Amino acid sequence: MKKVVIGIGLAVAAMSQVYAADMLALAKSKNCLACHSVDKKLVGPAYVDVAAKYAGKPGAEATLVNAVLHGVSGVWGPVPMPANPQVTPAQAKELVTWILSLKK
Ligand code: HEC
């Protein structure tokens, strides 16, 4: 019984890390991390830089969900992002919400 109580306490404390790990796993399974990392520019921009660029911009989420689903070019440099048909609109929204929550 004591173990259960401690377990619940730990689970609550660990929830934000679990969310981050889940989203990282989703990004990895959808191949996003082939071109992106959270804090380093690879082929595409670092996700913390995406969050900084769009912080406080109205409509950022819709713009980025659209970019993830259908691809985008000319925003960050000469290399375009191809469309990601392996991602559902709901997953794209989840990923974008997570990306926008990241801080440097
Ligand atoms: C083949 C490489 C590649 C893959 C795979 C890829 N991206 Fe990108 N991504 C890019 C590049 C390159 C850019 C910059 C495009 C530009 O300059 O317009 C970019 C831009 C972005 C942006 C910013 C868009 C904007 O309008 O500012 C987001 C958000 C993003 N990617 C998320 C994702 C997510 C989520 C996935 C996985 C579902 C993913 N990317 C998969 C290469 C990739």
Spell out the domain ranges in the chain: 2-101
Distance from C-alpha of 68 to C-alpha of 64, rounded to nearest angstrom: 6
Question: Residue 9: what pLDDT?
Answer: 67
Question: Residue 54: what pLDDT?
Answer: 98
pLDDT in tens, 29-48: 999 999 999 999 999 999 99
Distance from C-alpha of 32 to C-alpha of 26, rounded to nearest angstrom: 9
Q: How much distance in Å is there from the Cα of 9 to the middle of ligand 1?
A: 37
Q: Report yes or no: 99 and 55 within 8 Å, Cβ to Cβ.
A: no
- Taking 80 as the threshold, does the pLDDT of residue 53 lie above it? yes
Residue 49: CB within 6 Å of ligand 1?
no
Residue 23: CB within 6 Å of ligand 1?
no
Domain 2-101, CATH number (from 1.10.760.10, 3.30.360.10, 1.10.10.60, 2.170.130.10): 1.10.760.10
